[in-house]
Amino acid sequence: MENQEFNQKSSIMQKEIFEQPGVVKNLLERYIGPDERIKIDLPEKIDNIVIVASGSSYNCAAIAAPLFIEFADIPCEYEYSSEFVLQKKHFITPDSLYIFVSQSGETSDTLNALKMIKQKGVKTMCITNAQNSTMWNLCDYRVLSDAGEEKSIASTKALTAQILCSILILLKIKAKDGEDISGYLNTMRRLPAYLERIKCDFDKIKAAAQLVSQFNNISILGNKNYYPVAKEGALKIKETCYLNVMAYPFGEFMHGHVAVLNQKSIVIAIIDEENAEFAQRNLKKIRQDYNPQIVCITSVQDVKSGDLNIYIKTKRKLKAIFGSLLTLQLIACELASILKKNPDKPHGLKKVVKD
Ligand code: AGP
């Protein structure tokens, strides 16, 4: 079907977005034993982690790396696969773990990076949705992200599954260090119900997409883990709507980038407990100086800085990351539908990018 003719209500992309509560539930059942042990094999000792990936899987790396640092106290870096292979030196210790994230397990850039670093004898792990893929067979340690087959070229449920697997890995490291992780596991167990609630607010999400559809100058802002969430939202809109959407860290946006705004622009801001005050202060300034439309996706009850505010209420960052991601995915999918683009047939894109 040609994009121009696209007018169907529900796409494969939307179906896969809606599957996410179930994907999360299955993964938790698969990897958390009745004794609360996480059933993932890890090297005995890990003193630093490097995560390598492309596209949405790279955004998983960028979301997960600060979580490894914050929650598991372990140094963690991340890199685009295509840049990694160009780097002249890689930092390796006897207890380094290199994690390769890939939905397909076959992406050339990531595969080349994996093959290159394997030659140095480093321990490797993959998080992949494809059991028996080339990456699966090459890595020393493997985590199946088990999202079910993902048909949509714009990846959604596979990314959510990858992020959850990354969190389970970091919790396993925490548990090995003797820490009590039961509170975190309870938070994760509440994730499927939380994502179901966000799906129920679909009317608000549709209204946001309707508003966004009136602009082609779109900036998505977020801090820390939410900056890669913002990048993922931008990637989803690019892939499905062919708009040049940019994502920025909130503070950095104020250093010149803000000049792209005017009354014909729209800002989508992701706001949580940690950045609420800072974000609201900057949005006030942005409104005064440029007066764009503003949509806030916020986990904080009393944030009212947007012309439209989508509440994804929770005090837990480990839930809000998934909630903001799902909201942006739905906005992108709905926006494509409003703009009469078929999100299931993105122009010129392939599910697996190979040489
Ligand atoms: C995501 O929506 C994209 N289609 C694309 O960026 C993809 O994530 C990337 O090509 C990596 O694919 P992989 O996860 O299969 O390695």
DSSP state of 88: S
Question: Fold for domain 196-338?
Answer: Rossmann fold (3.40.50)
User: What distance in angstroms lies between residue 353's CA and the mean position of ligand 1's atoms?
Assistant: 7
217 DSSP β-pair partners = 265
Question: What are the helix (H) ranges across the chain?
Answer: 12-18, 20-31, 55-72, 81-84, 108-118, 134-138, 157-176, 182-189, 191-200, 202-212, 226-241, 250-253, 276-290, 317-338
User: What distance in angstroms lies between residue 54's CA and the mean position of ligand 1's atoms?
Assistant: 6
The pLDDT confidence band at residue 1, using thresholds 50, 70 and 90, is very low
Atom of ligand 1 nearest to the CA of 162: 14
Average pLDDT over the chain, rounded to an integer? 95
Q: Give the pLDDT confidence of 232-241 residue by residue, as tens digits.
A: 999 999 999 9
Going from the C-alpha of 198 to that of each of 22, 154, 186, 333, 337, the distances in angstroms are 14, 20, 19, 15, 20
Q: Is the CB of 54 under 6 A from ligand 1?
A: yes
Which whole number is the average pLDDT over 255-284?
95
6: left (phi over 0), alpha (psi -120 to 50) or beta: beta
Q: Is the CB of 107 under 6 A from ligand 1?
A: yes
Write down the pLDDT at residue 9: 64
Which whole number is the average pLDDT over 160-184?
96
Which whole number is the average pLDDT over 60-67?
98
Q: Give the pLDDT confidence of 75-97 residue by residue, as tens digits.
A: 999 999 999 999 999 999 999 99
Q: Give the pLDDT confidence of 287-346 residue by residue, as tens digits.
A: 999 999 999 999 999 999 999 999 999 999 999 999 999 999 999 999 999 999 999 988
Residue that is written with structure tokens 């321990």 in the block: 123
Q: Is the pLDDT of residue 271 over 90?
A: yes
Q: Is the pLDDT of residue 2 over 80?
A: no
Residue spans per domain, the chain: 32-189, 196-338
Which distant-in-sequence residues (6+ apart) come within 8 Å of 323 by Cβ? Answer: 194, 195, 198, 299, 312, 314
Nearest 5°: the CA angle 202, 260, 217 is 35
Q: Is the CB of 293 under 6 A from ligand 1?
A: no
CA distance 312 to 290: 27
Which whole number is the average pLDDT over 247-251?
96
- The DSSP annotation for 134-162 comes to HHHHH-SEEEE--------SS--HHHHHH
Q: Is the CB of 129 under 6 A from ligand 1?
A: no
Q: Is the pLDDT of residue 99 over 80?
A: yes
**Proportion of the chain above pLDDT 70, given as a percent:** 97
Q: Is the CB of 56 under 6 A from ligand 1?
A: yes
Whether 325 contacts 333, CB under 8 Å? no
Atom of ligand 1 nearest to the CA of 351: 4
Residue whose CB lies within 8 A of the most ligand 1 atoms, among 60, 103, 162, for a mutation test: 103
Q: Which CATH class is domain 32-189?
A: alpha beta
Q: Is the CB of 237 under 6 A from ligand 1?
A: no
User: What distance in angstroms lies between residue 300's CA and the mean position of ligand 1's atoms?
Assistant: 31
Q: Give the pLDDT confidence of 32-47 residue by residue, as tens digits.
A: 999 999 999 999 999 9
Q: Is the CB of 57 under 6 A from ligand 1?
A: yes
For residue 86, the one-letter residue type is L
Q: Give the pLDDT confidence of 110-150 residue by residue, as tens digits.
A: 999 999 999 999 999 999 999 999 999 999 999 999 999 99
Residues 307, 309, 310, 313, Cα dihedral to 10°: 170
Residue whose CB lies within 8 A of the most ligand 1 atoms, among 63, 134, 153, 155, for a mutation test: 155
Quick one: tokens of 8?
């169907």
Q: Is the pLDDT of residue 3 over 70?
A: no
φ, ψ for residue 266, nearest 5 deg: -130, 140
